[in-house]
Chain A
Amino acid sequence: MRVVLSCTALASLLVANSANPDNIAPLKDFAPPKPYTPNIAQSAFPAHQFDRTNRDEYFFVTDLLDDSMDKFHVSGGFYGRDFYSSALFKYRGANFYTILNANFSKGNRYKDGGGNEVDFGYSRQGQSAVVGFVPNDISEFRFTFLRDNIDNEKEPHNPTDAVKTERKIAKFNARLGEESLANTLNLELMLRDINRNANNFELRNSAQKVKVEIERKIFDAKLSYDADFGNFHNMIGASYQRDLHEGKRYGFVGGKWVFNGYRFGDVKNQSVRVFDEISYKFNEANKLNLALNYEWMSSNLRAANNAYSAPMPQISTIKGLVKSIYGENLDGDIKHKALSASLKYEFSPNEKDLYYAALESISRMPSNMERFNTLYGPLDNGWISNPFLKPERHNRVNLGLEYKSEFFKEYLSSKQGEDSFAIKAHLIASDVKDLIIYDRRHSKATMPMNKNAVISRNVDAKIYSANLSASYNFLQNFGLKAALFYNYGQNKTDGRALYQIRPFEANLAADYKSYASFGSFSLGSALRYVAKQNRGDFDKSTGLGIDSKEAKAFTLIDIYGAVEFRNKFGLRFGVNNIFDKEYAEFISGDHVAALDPRRVNAPGRTVFVSFHSSF
């Protein structure tokens, strides 16, 4: 676990309460990689959407340098043909603090386990700044700015490449009242500005040139008030979001660019939430928690009647295109409202252990991708989302535990001569009403246009998710870690498996850490086993067909190590996929809206070495 002073500044805006709808993610989220925040920047591995091995969890003694309280931190290294570097400055004075980070990474084509080149790549620069003022013990003000720019992201699984993705996030936080939240007002304002361009000609050869340009601005405001009343704690608040989203597609016809469809038709969403969470502590160990969240959402496609170039006049507006697929008129505002609730019981017999059981009913509003992505397809393709979708509701049981033995502090850190262990587990069983899925139109019409286009719809479903992880420190210098994941998803409406459900996975790691006169060093090996996913959405003629039957079970072994000298500088090194296994992930790459189950193999054997310093 990596914690850096005041990096909570970058936490998500709307993590409001236990009934927060943002706790539910769509089945498939076509989004760029998350920005490198300062708390992870120094130790981060370069983003790679075709390799889901979580190497950030590996143990390196150089993490000590990256996470230390020193003012200056510099790291950089090669990961096969990729490069990543980061510089971090942090300082905390009596009444203010600041964190500055700049990072740069370059992804390049790589060889898979079969020796075949994969035309992958990107260039990425990120900058972030956090400045906080603490005038006294009952107030704190913090400004955060983060920019993430990704250029020329090659997408071998998609007809187009994301040639430009630029995200700028500005945030202001204010706390008036005690840090303990005993009597505290919190305000948060955030502006996200996103620009994304994709095309099929800059990074590849294409006879018919197409480009898509997307702009989005999201403004969030949240106000919450926390107060203690005896054994009760109450947090009440409200938030507002305004989301402006426009995306246009152009084709190069007759020597000029022709506007031929809206990816997002000048969408304007406004959302208001009110929420309350009240908890009651029966005693130090037992707590009951009730959380409520009520949301009103109003959406409007302001370009619904704007014309664009299309083969037929009937579909040359969003309104006409939607009517042709769904048979309904798209007029005026689309409004939704939903109540989410969570009742949670927590038992924490001591500071280390926690057991909880929660009953939750959480309603998630459809995303713009799920409702307003409206591009006709000239053949049997296209993607016409359903603006009339209902919010999905997850009625679920959420059980979990965390247990640490007496001497466990963290992985590979126990008292001298004492073996220790920690276990963490959760199980979520969810019965979902109106789950939002992508599907195909499956039209029997003779006309090819949009015949098998992607649509979105509501279905009922069952989703189970289980995770068990354990850490064991033994013989002073050794550690073992294991993590198991199992997920299950069934579309009850159609009697078929849900798509992109992660297969059973087991991660095992064995590590050795020791100290020496010069500092410390560590060596480790990790094994990742991913089972074959037999239940999937493999067939475009009956479902969405985004899952790939070609993704087989695989086992990877990585070896890695690190050495650090006097807490000042160190090296991290290793070999990933040491047996040069040829494999592909079952969950397909998700940085762009790629729907075809085109297999893209993950990297083969990859040597990495990075330098880390702190001073």
Chain B
Amino acid sequence: MKRRNFLGLGAALGVTALAPDLFAKERFDIWGMPAIPSTMLAVATMQGELNKTHDMKLRIWSNPDQLRAGVASGDMKLTAAPSNVGVNLANQGIKFGMLNIMTNGLQNVLVKDASIKSIEDLVGKKLIMPFKNDMPDLVLRAICKKRGIDISKIDITYVQTPPESVGLFLQKDYDAALSIEPMSSAAILKGKKMGVDVSVGFELPEIWGESFGVKPYIPQAGLIVSLDYYNANREVFEVFHNDLQNSLKWILQNKQSAAKIGAQYLPAPEPALANAFERSNLTVTKASDLADELMSFFEVLFELNPKILGGKMPDKSLFL
């Protein structure tokens, strides 16, 4: 090829790259949370049917304050959130509904001693965990109460954030850490680099189901949506629901690829994400199909700390 031809081809490639999108689409903005269910959102926005008709954009909020501010200001019409947050917002008069549940619980207890296999084994042991008086703490307390375990006999240290909890667990002499995925998978990998044998002692959803005689589910997080936005776009949300279900199926069949996609949005290494999908109890279930389970779950939380739900139990109409 002559130099002139070469330059021409290079210019043509450049022009192609800069060509504008000639088919402008309607926007469909989604906010995800910095946790593994957001990978489902990422895959759905990338591969779903809705992507063909809408200009989809996924962003991740970084902390609960940003979530609350975004919802209150109207910037976040559709966002992933811990399930109690949807109830809390509704109880504050903000017109939001619960669209679905995306995880049936991704909390587990990491241990250094593989003989710790149940919550009873934690009695007399040193446990570290984040978020005092928030959902993980309340779940643990509820389980202990139900099983007749005196929680004061577990030596619990509370810290501010999950990374801090896991970091201290690896470095210090804590026997166990209450953690969430993919932080747990990351901690197991980090432990291998540090010569610390870390494993998942048990998973809280299983213990929850066993304790309360229900399915092994903790309906922990899902999507919440502005009611006005939802009512104006019901058909779109049906398509999106199918996209999310296909997304979940694809993720479980293509964990490495999904981890690569998820790592673009989440502060977790790809190997940890790939290992975490199986332990994250991912689901795509409409909130209305889980109304009874959700109400049972919220009753337990409400009994322990009404503030976490905004002072009162939700109405079933909240579940879309």
Q: Which residues of A contact B (CB under 8 A)?
A: 64-65, 68-69, 92-95, 97, 134-137, 139-140, 179, 407, 409, 413-417, 472, 474-476, 478, 480, 506, 508, 510, 515, 517, 519-520, 527, 529, 553, 555, 566-567, 614
Q: Please judge, given known A-B contacts A416-B46, A416-B57, whether A555 and B6 are in contact too, CB under 8 Å.
A: yes
Beta-carbon contact of B195 and A136 below 8 Å: yes
Q: Please judge, given known A-B contacts A64-B256, A409-B263, A416-B56, whether A137 and B13 are in contact too, CB under 8 Å.
A: no
Bound complex: CA A577 to CA B286 (Å): 54
B253 an interface residue at 8 Å Cβ cutoff?
Answer: yes
B34 an interface residue at 8 Å Cβ cutoff?
Answer: no
B58 an interface residue at 8 Å Cβ cutoff?
Answer: yes
Majority-rule SS of A interface residues: strand
Beta-carbon contact of A414 and B264 below 8 Å: yes
Beta-carbon contact of A527 and B264 below 8 Å: no
Note all chain B residues with C-beta closer than 8 A to A515: 43, 46-47, 250, 254, 257
Q: Among the listed B1, B13, B43, which residue makes an inter-chain contact with A529, where contact means beta carbons less than 8 Å apart? A: B1
Beta-carbon contact of B192 and A134 below 8 Å: yes
Beta-carbon contact of A566 and B254 below 8 Å: yes
Q: Among the listed B3, B192, B194, which residue makes an inter-chain contact with A136, where contact means beta carbons less than 8 Å apart? A: B194
Note all chain B residues with C-beta closer than 8 A to A135: 195
B45 an interface residue at 8 Å Cβ cutoff?
Answer: yes
B77 an interface residue at 8 Å Cβ cutoff?
Answer: no
Beta-carbon contact of B254 and A94 below 8 Å: no
Nearest to B263 among chain A residues (CB) is: A409
Q: Which residues of B contact A (CB under 8 A)?
A: 1, 3, 6, 9-10, 13, 17, 21, 42-43, 45-47, 55-58, 170-171, 189, 191-198, 246, 250, 253-257, 260, 263-265, 271, 274-275
Q: Please judge, given known A-B contacts A137-B195, A416-B46, whether A69 and B274 are in contact too, CB under 8 Å.
A: yes
Note all chain A residues with C-beta closer than 8 A to B197: 94-95
Sorted nearest first, the 6 A-B pairs with minimum C-beta distance are A94-B197, A555-B1, A137-B194, A134-B195, A567-B256, A136-B195
Q: Among the listed A139, A480, A519, which residue makes an inter-chain contact with B254, where contact means beta carbons less than 8 Å apart? A: A519
Q: Among the listed B13, B46, B198, which residue makes an inter-chain contact with A476, where contact means beta carbons less than 8 Å apart? A: B46
| A-B residue pairs in contact (CB < 8 Å), sample of 5 | A93-B192, A95-B197, A474-B17, A510-B13, A555-B6
Beta-carbon contact of B193 and A527 below 8 Å: no
Q: Please judge, given known A-B contacts A69-B274, A555-B6, whether A64 and B260 are in contact too, CB under 8 Å.
A: yes
Majority-rule SS of B interface residues: helix
Note all chain B residues with C-beta closer than 8 A to A510: 13
Nearest to B112 among chain A residues (CB) is: A94
Nearest to B46 among chain A residues (CB) is: A416
CB distance from B70 to the nearest CB of A (A): 18
Note all chain B residues with C-beta closer than 8 A to A508: 10, 13
Beta-carbon contact of B196 and A137 below 8 Å: yes
Nearest to B171 among chain A residues (CB) is: A137
Bound complex: CA A331 to CA B191 (Å): 58
Nearest to A515 among chain B residues (CB) is: B47
Note all chain A residues with C-beta closer than 8 A to B198: 94
CB distance from B155 to the nearest CB of A (A): 23
Note all chain A residues with C-beta closer than 8 A to B196: 94, 136-137
Beta-carbon contact of A92 and B192 below 8 Å: yes
Note all chain B residues with C-beta closer than 8 A to A93: 192
Note all chain A residues with C-beta closer than 8 A to B56: 416-417
Q: Please judge, given known A-B contacts A416-B57, A480-B13, A508-B10, whether A520 and B257 are in contact too, CB under 8 Å.
A: yes
The residue among A137, A139, A474, A520 with the most chain B CB atoms within 10 A of its own CB is A137
Bound complex: CA A407 to CA B265 (Å): 10
User: 18 extra interchain contacts, Cβ-Cβ under 8 A, other than A64-B257, A134-B193?
Assistant: A64-B260, A68-B274, A69-B275, A93-B192, A94-B195, A97-B192, A137-B170, A137-B171, A137-B194, A137-B195, A137-B196, A179-B194, A413-B260, A417-B57, A474-B17, A506-B6, A520-B254, A527-B6
Bound complex: CA A30 to CA B255 (Å): 44
Note all chain A residues with C-beta closer than 8 A to B194: 134, 136-137, 179
Note all chain B residues with C-beta closer than 8 A to A476: 46
Q: Among the listed A68, A92, A407, which residue makes an inter-chain contact with B256, where contact means beta carbons less than 8 Å apart? A: A68
Note all chain A residues with C-beta closer than 8 A to B193: 134, 179
Beta-carbon contact of B45 and A416 below 8 Å: yes
Beta-carbon contact of B254 and A567 below 8 Å: yes
Nearest to A416 among chain B residues (CB) is: B45
